[in-house]
Structures are given as C-alpha cells and as structure tokens.
Amino acid sequence: MTSWFFLFSLSFPVLALDPMWPQFRGSGGTAIGLGTGPVNFGYTTNQLWRVAVGPGNSSPCITGDLIFLTTHESNRLWTICLNRQDGKEMWRAAAPEGPVEKTHTLGSPATASPATDGESVYVYFGSYGLLSYDFKGHELWRKPLPQPVVEFGASASPVVRGKMLVQVCDQDLGSFLIAVNTRTGETIWRRERPEFRRSFATPFVWVHGGMDELIVPGSIWLRSYNLNDGSERWSFSGTSRVACSSPTASEFLLFSASWNVGGDEGARISMPPWEEYYQAHNQDQDNRLSLPEMEAGPVRDRFSQIDLNKDGFVTAEEWKNMAEMFQKAGNALVAIKPDGEGDITGSHLAWRSTRSLPYVASPLYYSNQVYTVKNGGLMSAYDAITGNPFFQDERLNAPGDYFASPIAADGRIYLVSDRGHITVLAAGSQFKILAQTEMKETTHATPALVDDTIYFRTESHLTAFREPTPTKL
C-alpha cells in the first residue's frame, strides 16, 4: 500500500504551494512577516524543534510545509528540504561535483539563500551556478556559471519575480547580471557590469506606481534596471566601495545602506600616484608590483582587491582603478525618490545619514520607520519620510558583528548577532527591548518568520521557536 501511494504521488505534478518566506528576507525581500512571532523564547524555552543541518550561511526559504536550505558538507554542496512541522529532513540533492570556491574565513560556499515561487526551488552556488529542483528533490534544470573572480566567495541570493529568476554576479573582473526562465533555466537577458567590482548584496525589486525596478547595489553605484530586458534605468553614485547589504522600500522611497573601510570623510584610504609609488618600491623594474614589494599598511592589505585578474601582480591600470574607487567611495544610508532616469545622484536624493551605518545587515523599513543595526549592537531608527532620527546608537547590550539582517512582524523587530545573541525590540519611535536570549552558536543567517513561528539558522543547526497559544477560559 505504501509503495503504491509513493508511485501514485510521483505520477502527478506537485501543486503550487503558498510561498510564505520565499527568498532572502522573505516576501518581496522586505523582511516583514505576516504572523505574530514569539517574544519569550530561548535555547530551551518554547523550542518547537532543533535539528542539525550542517554548515552554511544561507537563510531559510519556506513554502507550504517545506523549508529549504543549502549546506557545505564533505566538500560537496547540498540543497536540503525539511518538514516545517518537525524539522525532519525530507530530501537532499547534491550540486554537480567540481572545485569548491574559496571563501572568507567567516563565509561559506553555501551562503546564497534559496528562492521559491511555490512551484520549484532555486539555488545558486558560486562554485557551480544555478540549479532548480521540484519539491520532491528531482533536478529540473541546471545552468553552470563561471566561478566568481574574488577570494571571498559568492554571497548574493537569487530573486524570483514572476517567471524570471535574477542573479547578480559581481566580482573583481567580469561582473554581470543575468535573468533566466524559471521553467527552463534558459537565459532571458544578460547585462555585463564591467565597471563594478566585488559586491555581495542581494538585489531588490522595487514595486511602485505600477512599475517593477530591479535595484542592484554595487561598488560606488546603486543602479536600477528594467526587469523585462535588463536595460539600465538610472544610477546613483557615491555608495561604498563594496556593497554588502540589500535595499528595501516604502510606497514612496527606496532605502539603501552601504559602508566599507575607507569611505568615511576624514578616514579615507588614499593611494599615492602610481609613478611615485612604483619608482620607490619596485625592485626588478618589470612594470608591476608584487605583494612583497608593497609596504605594510591599508593599501597592501587590499592587494588581492587591487589585483583584479588574480595573477599575483598589480599593474598601473589596476592601481589607478582602485585609487579612483577609494576617492569616489561614500558611506551612507540614503533615501531615493522614484521615477528617476540616467544619473540621479544630484536630483533624486530625499535624505542621507552618515552616522551609525550597518556593514552587512540590511536596513529594515517597517511602519513608516527605517531601522539599522551597526556592528557592536548599536540600533538606530529614522522617520522614513524626513530621515530625522528617532534614536541613534542605542545599545542592544548584545555585542558582536551583525551579519544577519533584522526582520519584523506584529510590532516587533528581531535581531541576531554573530555570537548568537537574539534581541526582540518593540517597533516604534521609542527604543524598547522586549526580550533577549542566546542561541549558543555562531549565527550569520537572517531568520525567517511564518505564522507564529520563527526559524533561526546557526552554525550547524536550524531551530524553530513558537510560544504556546494562550488557553481560553
């Protein structure tokens, strides 16, 4: 009987499921859940279940009763599917074998989060490219892409819009943006981005005025593209040298935060003219510089970034390219007005804040306010329309770096540090901590929230928390 039912189920297509938390930062990439979410929970309190999932930094993607994650185990890259009710593993599928990309010591080859449209699940591995599976784990299509030319590894997650899957592949050489058909994996359009260098942010689809704009943060520029053909709409310049956080939006404004070393006024990294530095440091007069020939300091520390083609040497062109980027880079939280075309740097800036900026954690727009969390556990909130701060640099008393982005639901904001410290904050103009707890494991992944349950992915586990429903008298 069991065998017959299994064969019967395979003979019919899987019906589309409701995408509850369909991609990185949930529905539309807004990081807002529709459920209530718990307030009082902890390592052993109101824990629904906790299961081992293996190492990786990808965030949970949820549709129906299914949760999708990616992991890196035994030098293989896996997509895994779990049951949302009990955390039981339903299936796992291995990406094609091949060289696994190098990553930052805090990174993972399984960092990009899966995405779903309720019919299939889509994953991106920098080591291979794009893959699609049905909800029983059968591969539907594969699209190999070149490994990124960056020693820190890939991070940007795929984004689904209608029947289109979009992936940005920014790197030190050969950056591009690609859109493929969700049913077949065939390329719909591809846009080269040669002026962009390494960045790790996931794009955002800005829906406003009956229009969909694909917003892609990148080095020095924030850029908008038409989703239908990949053509450029506008550019805003003066963002950080490396983009790590994703934008968000209200009905009227787009919000984007960027920060990187060397972009703050008064603390800029400057590079001397090539001719001057080359003459003083080159030892063999070969028209290039090797790492040992460069003096210790912030420029030498970024040798791998200056060396665009990774041949172990820096040329005059590569040197001048990076010097220009250091000069143009800017760190800020910006609000951008809609309906821009061309260069909108001087025309569409609604407001800007240069204090207490997040590094990796994305800004959160929720209930007419914009929230940011800075490394060290410093929280800020701004009026979304004016940019006036309600509070800045309020201490969460939960130190550490914040690589996970904040999420919100039911008047609450959830934050988690890399040390596993979780803070539940009351949304609003007053800074108020509702609860704090610890996961006791390193945490880099952004949590997911569906109905009354929140899901945290830590270094090697996925944990679901739910408060019991109050008993009616």
Delineate the domains of the chain, giving CATH numbers in brackets. Answer: 16-266+329-466 (2.130.10.10), 274-327 (1.10.238)
Flag whether pLDDT at 1 surpasses 50.
Answer: no
Q: Is pLDDT at 244 greater than 70 in this prediction?
A: yes
pLDDT > 70 fraction of the chain, expressed in percent and rounded: 95
pLDDT of amino acid 270:
87
Q: Give the total residue count for the chain.
A: 473
Mean pLDDT of the chain: 93
What's the confidence (pLDDT) of residue 2? 35
- Residue 7 pLDDT > 50: no
Q: How far apart (Å, rounded) are the C-alpha atoms in residues 278 and 287? A: 8
Q: What is the pLDDT of residue 43?
A: 82
Q: What is the pLDDT of residues 374-389, one digit of tens each?
A: 999 999 999 999 999 9
Alpha-carbon distance of 465 to 463, in angstroms, equals: 7
* Helix, coil or strand: residue 374: strand
Neighbours of 303 (CB within 10 A): 16
- What per-residue confidence (pLDDT) applies to 8? 31
Q: Give the mean model confidence (pLDDT) for residues 193-213.
A: 95
- List pLDDT tens digits, range 54-78: 999 999 999 999 999 999 999 999 9
The per-residue pLDDT for range 101-115, each reduced to its tens digit, is 999 999 999 999 999
- In a 3-state reduction of DSSP, which class is residue 279? helix
The one-character DSSP state at 362 is: P
pLDDT in tens, 174-186: 999 999 999 999 9
The pTM of the full predicted model, rounded to 2 decimals, is 0.93
Helix (H) or strand (E) holding 303: helix 303-306
Instruction: Look at 278-287, 304-313, 349-358, 445-454 and tell me which has the smallest mean pLDDT.
Output: 278-287
Share of the chain above pLDDT 90, in %: 86
